[in-house]
Structure 1
Amino acid sequence: MKIVRFKHTDQINYGILEKNKIKIVEGNVFGSFKIADKFIDFSEAKLLPPCEPSKIVCVGLNYRDHAQEMKDRIPEEPVLFIKPSNAVIGPNDEIIYPQMSKRVDYEAELGVVIKDKIKDLEENQVKEHILGYTCFNDVTARDLQNKDGQWTRAKSFDTFAPIGPVIATDIDPNNLDIQLFLNGELKQNSNTSQLIFSVEKLVSFISKIMTLLPGDVIATGTPSGVGPMEVEDTVEVKIEKIGVLKNTIKK
């Protein structure tokens, strides 16, 4: 099942994407809902970010090749940072290149969407508390990250958290091809089987630090091949069984 959040005739709804149609959802996708008989054509809807996270918990250096690329040691525990909710944008929205940065990078990632309020989970409890999975681009002002020595400013600009296009349920998050294309050219190409810490390990670990709320997103890290984007570039995160998250870069 592929869950979408969309706008149609000034109304915002959740729906289920089936080929070129969206079936309307009645109820709460994070709780109890049913799929109505009503549907609209996909072409008539504007896709929005598929969830509204209170926070995005990101994992740094979670692919071995990316840790080597960044000349960092393999972490013994997940390395965490947080992106604010104001950074969230959806499919086909514009990533704004900040004036104070001279290098803005793409980072393709698998996003995990939390289903309900959770705290202190063990790994074997995690699966039932995940709504599904989505594409995520951890946009980063790399020059500011290197300058600051920590990551908050570089990761937190408005529009620096593209999410979408759907939340895919009932898939194995630990064996998905993940790619990034810049202006149609393949730049990142890996599989989530290469994660240092699995999805189950990450959700459990994070839940023992902070309460996670419905719609919160965990960004699981990026593989090797990160690099810069320029104004007017088009960037696409493609993840097997989920879809393609496409955005453009603007001043």
Structure 2
Amino acid sequence: MTALILSGVVGSTAYGLAREGSDIDRMGVFVAPTLDVAGLDWHPHRESRASHDPDVAMHEIGKTLRLMLKCNPTLLEMLHLDDYEVLTDEGRRLVDARSAFLSEKYVRDSYGGYAKSQAHRLATEERGYFSSNTKNRTAKHGRHLLRLLRQGRELLSTGSLTVRVSDPEEYWAFDLMSPAQMLDVYAHENELFEATSSVLPTAADRDRVSALLDSIRAAHLERTTVHA
């Protein structure tokens, strides 16, 4: 039986950007029984679960750690939330290990690369921008790239991350911008991102992460055996 070890509210609510009618998104980490993971029937498609209404995304601990070692922005955010709806002892150990996942290369690649992809979307959506659906989607991409580049800068310069934005109105200003204006914001923020000096190590602490996973797998092997 799987065990949920960490879960919290993410997305616009966590960023402080929720408005009336905004969805409440949740994300979490679960641990599959160790013998299941080691068995013949285990498959990567079992490592994630998603549902809608409500919007929930859950990832197995193995996949979670692999993606965190690549500084996946969505998953790293989960380790920096102000509070959690589910926080077991194992979840707390995962949160406490958040610095072990960080490396300069992957923060630059993941956050800068992700923001670059959002900027590309802005450029390709300029045609047809005045349709309401496209305009709303484009503004969302603009907010996304601004947040990513600022989070990335904070990680590079401090090794920490603040999920909640300091000035929501600055992000909602994208609703009034053209794609060209949003791309100007991107160019400025990306220049700051590229110029940021890093306090991060050149490589993540894989030994610490591996030891954490080994400990969790061993605990869930024991529980599976006891209840078999």
Q: What range is the shorter-chain TM-score in?
A: under 0.3
TM-score by length of 2: 0.27
TM-score by length of 1: 0.25
Bigger radius of gyration: 2
Going by fraction, where is helix more abundant, 1 or 2?
2
Going by fraction, where is strand more abundant, 1 or 2?
1
